[in-house]
Amino acid sequence: MPASVGAPRQMLRRLREVMAEHVSAQARLDKIVVLIASNIVAEVCSLYLRRRDGSLELMATEGLNAVAVHNTHLKPGEGLVGLIAEQAEPKQFADAQHHPAFSFRPETGEEIYHSFVGVPVLRGGDTIGVLTVQNRIKRQYSDEEVEALQTTAMVLAEMIASGGFLADEVTTETRRSTNETFKGKPISETVALGHIVLHEPRVVVTRLIAEDADLERQRLLVAIEELTGSIDAMMERGDLARAGEHRDVLEAFRMFAHDHGWRRRLDEALATGLTAEAAVQRVRNDTRARMMRMPDPRFRDRLHDIDDLSNRLLRLLSGDTQTAAMGNLPEDSIVIARTMGPAELLDYDRHRLRGLVLEEGGANSHVAIVARALGIAAITQCKGPLDVVEPGDAAILDAEGGELHLRPTQELISAYSDKVRFRARRQAQYAALRDVPAVTLDDERVGLNINAGLLYDMPHLAESGADGIGLFRTELQFMISPTFPRLDQQTQLYQSIIDAAGDKPVVFRSLDVGGDKDVRYFRIGAEENPALGWRAIRMALDRPALFRTQIRALLRATNGRELNIMLPMIADVWEFKQARALIDREVALLEKHGWPQPSRLLIGVMIEVPALLWQLDSILPLVDFASVGSNDLLQFLFAADRGNVRVADRFDPLSPSALRALRQVARGAEKHGVPLTLCGEMAGKTLEAMALIGLGYRSLSMAPASIGPVKAMIRSLDANNLQQRLDELLEGHAASLREDLKSFADTSGVQL
């Protein structure tokens, strides 16, 4: 009775012939069930498919009463068929009718059949149907028979999914019509309405049944070798950051690629007569179905790994290794990827790109920095959407709230359209302020500058109407470059920045890498406390050649114009002196190399290490300007890692301790007549910016999008009144002055 080893293959061959016939979908299904029944030597073979309401409809049968076709519907979970659908795994019963889950349907006439085997028809790990076989006698179905049924079910699933095969009500995509929301971490703060594009398009397997089994085996072997080879090479070269790859993900790939179980399952799938692509798809479906039902969330991550690996293999097998950036992009693309490198994001057509959703990566990763510079809506650490999303799905990416809404309802779309319109109106109001000065009601002028780091940021300077660039983070070029940017590359970038800024000043900060600003080719080595480690000016002074190269590039790019250099992470006066001496040496060398002296060279200090608060009287007389890096200053003051969400929000920058420290700097700068700016994140928040003005700050540097709101706030503020109120408040002992400052704004009509 058991089928011969060649039987599954034979069955698939026949199946291919049936599929090629020009008959109706129903006639084809009818033929398929007859074919399976005869191949397995069974009296009954039936196919149930899921309808939109979740029930399973008998679509075709050989052996059961014909009247039951399209009339028998099983509710979700009902009967043995429902059980198989729910658990998404094959099951057999020698005496089906005595199983507690058995559901008797008189119209089918199935009471005379005792043995029963059923396999799920899987698509993307979901059950879209069940294929069953029954016999009168009590019998055991062999592993090969079950395997053959599973292979047939897989072929059926692909055929159904490729469309045109079945009536409308039967669906492989019940989830597609429903709205789903996923949480993530904001990278930028805009909102985008658009359509989903998969960064790595899924390969649709169309050639399912093998013509030459040996050839398919060979193709698969070559593809696996190519894949593992490229992973090994990537890990050896260590340029994972550029490719947006994560070491542990690649390790997982390696593990799977060498996993005997996975290889064996692929071999078994090939042995049933599938093509290499179909075998990969088949094993992926089974693994997904198994893992999706495991309670431990860690298996979900593995599911991603196997999915990714399968997709990469399929892309190699199909020869289609392009990312979506190279294809035809819809005009309102929201690109979704597990991970991505910054260079890959830059491959996309900016004008068609509205949003980016990443499943992995920090909000300060290199790709995140580029996303912000491009001004698109972007979130990261958004788990789950890749499991359920289809290319072309409508989506709303609310980067402000850190949410991705897939297939949004009409109400949600209208709500967001209103929100986008409202934002656009606000933007228009801010744009109208572009050319008016940032002056308070009592005539205090406040300098408003933008923070930048890439050439992409430059258009924001004119668009925002900012006075200049208060902080140019030179490390960004280093972070997104695969290798160390050479002198001429650095010079070229700085020159483009200075040219783009025109007559507006640019403050270049010398290289601030280390800490969370990871640049792989530097090989800093593991540090226990990287934020307190070998970074920024410490590295510059220990590796003067590196620092001097950058200064040389800046001086050359300046080419006789004005140059502002700012030194980060200065903790002690001697560091500033030493760095200044290195700069002076480079200036002295200019003539020798035939470059003109800068018309004016200003060297400033960043105040971001608390120790400087007690050296203000010694350092300020040495500097041309100072800028408070409140992100670092506050993280060190409160001993709370700025990148650790569990502690980053534990303290309030508007607490008296923080404000007193900031006031001390403002008073010091005033005493020594040193121009002072604050360039940390708090400068871009209206309430915080208001407090800073109350403390005496008259220059701020922030993200370009904040210029409008901050300017509107300034133009509605009486700085003197606020200064008095703040000094009073700072006499007290409140935990935070946030509420007091809000009520000050409220009662005095400050626009926050």
Mind telling me the catalytic residues?
Answer: 366, 679
Q: Of ligand PEP, Mg ion, none, which one does residue 126 interact with (CB within 5 to 8 Å by kind)?
A: none
> CA nearest 624: which of 638, 607, 605?
605
> CA nearest 559: which of 592, 515, 597, 594?
597
Q: How far is the CB of 348 from ligand PEP (least distance, A)?
A: 26
Which residues in 550-609 contact ligand PEP (CB under 6 A)?
Answer: 608
Stretch near Mg ion under the rule CB under 5 A, chosen from 96-104, 190-198, 343-351, 627-635: 627-635
Q: Does 402 contact ligand PEP by CB under 6 A? A: no
Q: Which residue has the tokens 């020009």?
A: 22
Q: Does 453 contact Mg ion by CB under 5 A? A: no
Cβ closest to Mg ion, residue 457 vs residue 475 = 475
Cβ closest to ligand PEP, residue 611 vs residue 734 = 611
Q: Does 514 contact Mg ion by CB under 5 A? A: no
C-alpha pair distances (Å), 540 with each of 372, 547, 570: 27, 5, 11
C-alpha pair distances (Å), 502 with each of 435, 458, 496, 550, 566: 16, 10, 10, 21, 20
Q: Does 629 contact Mg ion by CB under 5 A? A: yes
Q: How far is the CB of 475 from ligand PEP (least distance, A)?
A: 8
Q: Does 679 contact ligand PEP by CB under 6 A? A: yes
Angstrom distance (rounded) from CA 90 to CA 83: 10
Stretch near ligand PEP under the rule CB under 6 A, chosen from 266-274, 477-485, 623-631, 665-673: 623-631
Q: How far is the CB of 628 from ligand PEP (least distance, A)?
A: 7
Which residues in 133-152 contact ligand PEP (CB under 6 A)?
Answer: none
> CA nearest 128: which of 169, 92, 76, 171?
171
For the four alpha carbons of 20, 24, 29 and 31, in that order, the dihedral sign comes to negative
- Three-state SS for 467? coil
Angstrom distance (rounded) from CA 463 to CA 283: 53
Cβ closest to ligand PEP, residue 182 vs residue 638 = 638
Stretch near ligand PEP under the rule CB under 6 A, chosen from 95-103, 337-345, 591-599, 625-633: 625-633
Q: Does 129 contact Mg ion by CB under 5 A? A: no
Which residues in 480-519 contact ligand PEP (CB under 6 A)?
Answer: 512
- Three-state SS for 166? coil
**Which of 8, 447, 629, 708 contacts ligand PEP by CB under 6 A?**
629
What string of DSSP letters covers 667-691? Answer: HHHHHHT--EEE-SGGGGSHHHHHH
Q: Of ligand PEP, Mg ion, none, which one does residue 110 interact with (CB within 5 to 8 Å by kind)?
A: none
Cβ closest to ligand PEP, residue 124 vs residue 653 = 653
Spatial contact of 549 and 491, defined as CB atoms under 8 Å apart: no
Which residues in 435-474 contact ligand PEP (CB under 6 A)?
Answer: 471, 473
Angstrom distance (rounded) from CA 428 to CA 422: 10
Stretch near ligand PEP under the rule CB under 6 A, chosen from 376-384, 526-534, 537-545, 630-638: 630-638
Which residues in 561-620 contact Mg ion (CB under 5 A)?
Answer: 608
Angstrom distance (rounded) from CA 569 to CA 674: 18
Structure tokens at 544: 């003067």
- Provide the β-strand partners of residue 514: 517
Extract the runs of DSSP E, i.e. beta strands, from 215-331.
none
Cβ closest to Mg ion, residue 244 vs residue 629 = 629
Q: Of ligand PEP, Mg ion, none, which one does residue 203 interact with (CB within 5 to 8 Å by kind)?
A: none
> CA nearest 385: which of 376, 394, 374?
394
Cβ closest to Mg ion, residue 15 vs residue 682 = 682
Q: Does 632 contact Mg ion by CB under 5 A? A: yes
Angstrom distance (rounded) from CA 576 to CA 593: 26
Cβ closest to ligand PEP, residue 323 vs residue 449 = 449
Stretch near ligand PEP under the rule CB under 6 A, chosen from 158-166, 304-312, 403-411, 626-634: 626-634
The count of residues interacting with ligand PEP (CB under 6 A) is 10
Q: Of Mg ion, ligand PEP, none, which one does residue 63 interact with (CB within 5 to 8 Å by kind)?
A: none
> CA nearest 572: which of 625, 609, 534?
609
Instruction: Find the Cα–Cα–Cα–Cα dihedral 5, 11, 17, 20, rounded to 10°.
Output: -120
Q: How far is the CB of 568 from Mg ion (least distance, A)?
A: 6
Q: Of ligand PEP, Mg ion, none, which one does residue 473 interact with (CB within 5 to 8 Å by kind)?
A: ligand PEP
For 614, residues 6+ apart whose C-beta sits below 8 A from its C-beta are none
Q: How far is the CB of 557 from ligand PEP (least distance, A)?
A: 21
Q: How far is the CB of 512 from ligand PEP (least distance, A)?
A: 6
Cβ closest to ligand PEP, residue 93 vs residue 547 = 547
- CA 250-255-257 angle, to 5 degrees, is 90
- Contacts with ligand PEP, residue ranges (CB under 6 A): 471, 473, 512, 608, 629-632, 679-680
- Contacts with Mg ion, residue ranges (CB under 5 A): 608, 629, 632
